[in-house]
Chain A
Amino acid sequence: MNVLLGNLDLYGPFFLTTIKLFLIAGAASLVLGTFLAMLRVSPVPVFRAVGTIYVTLLRNTPLTLIFVFLVFAYPLLEILEINSFTAAAVALTIYTSAFICEVVRSGINTVPVGQAEAARALGLSFGQVLGQVVLPQAVRSVVPPLMSMLIALLKNTTIAAGFNVLEAGAVRAYLAERGENQFVGLLWVALGFVFLVLILSLLQRVLERRWRVAR
């Protein structure tokens, strides 16, 4: 208990960084993932190919490798200088967006084609079909796996701790410097994550119940 209370100046800001990283990467990957899903279902073969290659590449590389590339190899290319936090956010975004793309794509495919055909037969434009008919139905089946992705993203942010970002996983190094019990310190970090994951899981259950699909 003392390890936690005596080091609140570590735990507080570091967990705040975790949450900040999670929110930024989460929002960005939702946008990028949806855009990639649009690419993958597009009728233009070039767009489909780009989307498929991107998703296949990123689903088969470890996230740590992407971090290594962005933190060590990317600066050598002299394109744009980014600090560690931005590099972590970018790495998490491009990794998570591949999975979100798959989730959104499968969500769009659960909508029966007849719905879209009927909407088009009624004369609705593309935007109206998308906004009024397809997306409301797709969202219902997309939300539970999407929340699981976001929970996994929250857990993945700890990898940033190995790459100079001062977030929850980095607490251990500072505790070791201060001579505290690392085992207990790490247990508190683990409990913090269990708590955060619990909040997200509750949110997932609430959304699932609200938008439950009657099949």
Chain B
Amino acid sequence: MTSVLFDVPGPRARMRYRLMAVLGTVLVAAIIAYIVYRFTDTGQFSAQKWEWLEYVQVQVDLINAVGMTLKAFAVGAVAALIFGAVFASGRLSEHAWLRGVSTVIVEFFRAIPLLILMFLLFYGGPVIGISMPPFLAVVLGLTLYNGSVLAEVFRAGVQSLPSGQREAAYALGMRKTQVMFLVLIPQAIRAMLPTIISQLVVLLKDTALGFLVTYQELLYYARYIGSQGQFGRPIVPSTIVVTAIYIVLCLLLTALATYLERRQRRSKKHIEPARKTEELALEAEML
């Protein structure tokens, strides 16, 4: 039961842990009590602030806003996966010029902040003559950015496969494209599935950036409802509700990832990915 930092507790250590547990519980309870006190004192839990939830129109609008978020997510996810697959193959190509171009594009879109990319599309597009509705700006930005990250993920996946796979495929006489699409990419996708799904969770969270380019998704609606004077400006309740919705959506996606990973671990076609892929998953998650 030893861990890296803590040894098996002896009697004195157990007493200390019990004391710290009591102190910790008291501290946590105090903080929660203070937060609840602040909320009640400023009337956030009063019935009037939560009245807006009762209106059918508000409920319908809320579901519509979730639908807008999910719409941007679905289109962005599919497009990003395709973009990632294409540019991963480009980066793994044997032609140097194709490799170079793909590398430049992928690295460029990974280095720009996603918000600047969306601004470039939404505000800069009309300047050079391309009409850019908010939905298109959001989806295009999400695709380019997450597609580039996914290209790196796919590439890491293909490179983490045992080299025997590629060698055996060539030994059987397959051409380069066949090797890539019949042997390497299917295994890479299976190996990197948790990372890919984490990146899709990031995509879902990034749809909230659409709020800053006037795309009317969930966060935009929360802000809108929260500024309605007739409901008493319920910005705190609306942010709480929207936070809960986002957490539920993201947890559902993550649960899907865990389920797929567990199923895949039991499957006979499983390839153990290198450690680097877990790090890639974690750093990909940040934005």
Contact = CB atoms under 8 A, between A and B. Distances in A.
Contacts of B246: 60-62, 65
In which size bucket is the chain A interface?
Answer: 35 or more
Nearest to A39: B24
Contacts of A122: none
Interface in B1-49: 2-7, 9, 17, 20-21, 24-25, 28, 38-39, 41-42, 44
B115 to A, nearest CB: 4
B15 to A, nearest CB: 12
A68 B43 CA distance: 19
Interface in A138-156: 144-145, 148-149, 152-156
A69 interface: yes
B235 A72 contact: yes
Interface string A142-178: 0011001100111111110110000011001000100
Interface residues of chain A: helix, strand, loop or mixed (majority): helix
Contacts, number: 188
B113 A172 contact: no
A190 interface: yes
A6 interface: no
B285 interface: yes
A134 interface: yes
Nearest to B26: A46
A186 interface: yes
A44 B282 contact: no
B236 A60 contact: no
B243 A61 contact: yes
Given A57-B247, A172-B119, A148 B239 contact: no
B123 A182 contact: yes
B116 A102 contact: no
A64 B219 contact: yes
In which size bucket is the chain B interface?
Answer: 35 or more
A28 interface: no
A65 B120 contact: no
B251 A152 contact: no
Contacts of A149: 283, 286
B208 interface: yes
Interface string B237-268: 00100110011001100100000000000000
Contact of B212 (A47, A153, A162, A187): A162
Interface stretch (A9-17, A81-89, A193-201): A193-201
Contacts of A69: 239, 243
A153 B24 CA distance: 30
Nearest to B43: A76
A128 interface: no
Interface string B267-287: 000000000001100110111
> Which residue, B7, B205, B212, B287, has most C-beta atoms of chain A within 10 A?
B287
A91 to B, nearest CB: 13
A171 to B, nearest CB: 10
Nearest to B206: A62
Given A50-B24, A156-B287, A176-B123, A77 B236 contact: yes
> Which residue, A69, A76, A103, A161, has most C-beta atoms of chain B within 10 A?
A76
Given A76-B42, A152-B283, A172-B123, A158 B116 contact: yes
Nearest to A41: B5
B223 interface: yes
B222 interface: yes
Contacts of B41: 78
Contacts of A78: 38, 41-42
B236 A193 contact: no
Given A159-B212, A193-B111, A65 B219 contact: yes
Given A44-B17, A65-B219, A116 B286 contact: no
Contacts of B120: 183, 186-187, 190
Contact of B112 (A64, A103, A194): A194
A132 interface: no
15 contacts: A46-B28, A50-B28, A61-B243, A61-B247, A62-B207, A62-B219, A72-B223, A72-B226, A79-B38, A157-B113, A159-B212, A169-B115, A172-B119, A181-B127, A186-B120
